[in-house]
Amino acid sequence: MIRKFSTVIMSVAAGALISVSAANANHHELTPAQAKAREIYSTVIAMRTAKGHGNVPEMAAYLAGELQAAGFAEEDMEIIPAGETAAFTLRYRGDGSSGAKPVLFLAHMDVVDAKRDDWEHDPFVLREEDGFFLGRGVADNKYGITNLTQSFMRLKQEGFVPTRDLILVFTGDEETDMVTTRMMAYDREDLAEAEFALNSDAGGGAYTEDGTVLPYDMQAAEKTYATFNVTSRNPGGHSSRPRADNAIYDLARALLEIEEYSFPVMANDITRASARAAAADIGGDTGAALAKFADDPDNKKAIKVLRGDNSTSNMLSTTCVATMLDGGHAENALPQSAVATVNCRIFPGVEIETVRQILVDVIDNDALDIAQSDERFVASPASEPRADVNAALSAAIQVRYPGVEIVPSMSAGGTDGMHFRRAGIPTFGVSARFVRHGYRANAHGLNERLPVSTFYEGLDHWINLIKELAGPTQE
């Protein structure tokens, strides 16, 4: 059942309305739909939904209230508590005329925390400055939350009846423990029946300074994130009596072995298509190598060039790199233990245990322990592109950018999509976001930002996409 937070909602909404007034002053006249979207955006940014603050249930209740006011039935919404956080689902009931299974729409309500002292302005107050919206979550992923919410509201208000069920799935701890993500992906039979999922937290397009529109990246795969602790131990002793098996030296030798090792090159239809599309944009030796690799992933000369370019080497294979060190306990004592954190980004379809065993073999020292430090991440397969999703996405994008090409891509980072893919639900990142090539959102960092134009221009994206996927056939 939906828990009510009417007092909180009224207070945050009042502050949001002030922001909307400011927006009208800056943008002349916003349409009612634009003003409402900005109000929702401002309200959810103001909620500090980072781990440890317990504000995700409040945000879920606010969104439920907005959706209910737009006409959705309370019984079609659910807030699912999980410790201090929560997940939220809404089922937009269709008439079943297509006979098709439901579609899931993914976003996450939580954010990486931000400290007020580090930012130029309060990170939990939406600001509009120099053509950008600034605030924690404006890009990752309260943009997705806002866009999906306002799209469902507008469709409901205009009387749209989908030909299949559409289900919002908003998780509450994607940035940390992924408890709600795993719960939604693996434990919910009502969601497991979905034909596929569309993820607002991935994918997107770009254009150059001269206005040339680049191919749109539809995320169809992502590398698995896994971290291992490599630990060396021995009895230690007094520093005046060095011993042959020094824990720090043993660990250092192990890390050098990892540094020297390159995981085998791998490719799939998604990475090859992405390489082919990127070749013309990048140009030069790297572009030529990308084109050759797309045609023949075993081309050794192309692989050598791509391995030597930091912008492309990580997409060729699994990668593992040391990121943290901790060793010893006193300056006048031999170390009794030393630990290195090794972070791996694993090619789709490769199991985490397979990578751990490769590290064991590479280090080749039985005295060292190599253990996964965080088991919330899982191996995730690639999702084979679907003709219906490609066609609907193309139609939605063509409204803004006629002729743009859609290219399946693999992300080096991780999203909720990894768990839904592992659960057997093909998942595609199809964000509304189009930005200037080279733009940096500073997601997770200082002064996170999103172009104001990107926000407003993308408000019809999901509506057009949904009508293509679940609208009545036009005679």
Same domain, 261 and 366: yes
- A 10 A CB-CB count for 427 gives 29
Mean pLDDT of the 258-267 span: 97
pLDDT tens by residue, 5-30: 333 333 333 334 334 333 443 455 89
Backbone angles phi, psi at 39, to 5 degrees: -60, -45
Amino acid sitting at position 475: E
What is the structure's pLDDT at 375? 74
Same domain, 347 and 456: no
End-to-end C-alpha distance for the chain, whole angstroms:
40
Cβ pair 122, 129 in contact under 8 A: no
User: Which of 321, 341, 372 lies at the terminal end of a domain, its last residue?
Assistant: 372
Mean pLDDT of the 30-44 span: 98
Mean pLDDT of the 351-378 span: 93
State the residue range of the domain holding 21: 6-202+415-470
Q: What predicted TM-score, i.e. pTM, was given to this entire model?
A: 0.87
Same domain, 31 and 116: yes
In a domain, 214, yes or no: no
At 377, the pLDDT band (50, 70, 90 cuts) reads confident
**Domain CATH code at residue 279:** 3.30.70.360
What is the structure's pLDDT at 28? 59
What is the structure's pLDDT at 220? 97
What is the structure's pLDDT at 474? 59
Output DSSP code: residue 76. Answer: G
Mean pLDDT of the 45-73 span: 98
Mean pLDDT of the 192-205 span: 97
Backbone angles phi, psi at 366, to 5 degrees: -65, -15
What is the structure's pLDDT at 387? 97
Q: Of 396, 403, 385, whose CA–CA distance to 466 is shortest?
A: 396
Same domain, 10 and 159: yes
In a domain, 264, yes or no: yes
In a domain, 248, yes or no: yes
Mean pLDDT of the 339-357 span: 95
d(CA 35, CA 18): 11
Cβ pair 437, 214 in contact under 8 A: yes
**Domain CATH code at residue 166:** 3.40.630.10
Same domain, 253 and 310: yes
Same domain, 306 and 420: no
In a domain, 197, yes or no: yes
Mean pLDDT of the 102-123 span: 96
Amino acid sitting at position 139: A
In a domain, 398, yes or no: no
- A 10 A CB-CB count for 332 gives 7
- A 10 A CB-CB count for 341 gives 15
Cβ pair 377, 216 in contact under 8 A: no
Question: Percent of the chain at pLDDT above 70?
Answer: 94
Same domain, 39 and 73: yes
Residue in the structure block whose two tokens are 């009895």: 235
Mean pLDDT of the 400-410 span: 94
Q: How many domains does the chain have?
A: 2
Cβ pair 28, 34 in contact under 8 A: no
Same domain, 175 and 231: no
What is the structure's pLDDT at 70? 98
What is the structure's pLDDT at 151? 98
Same domain, 90 and 185: yes
In a domain, 387, yes or no: no
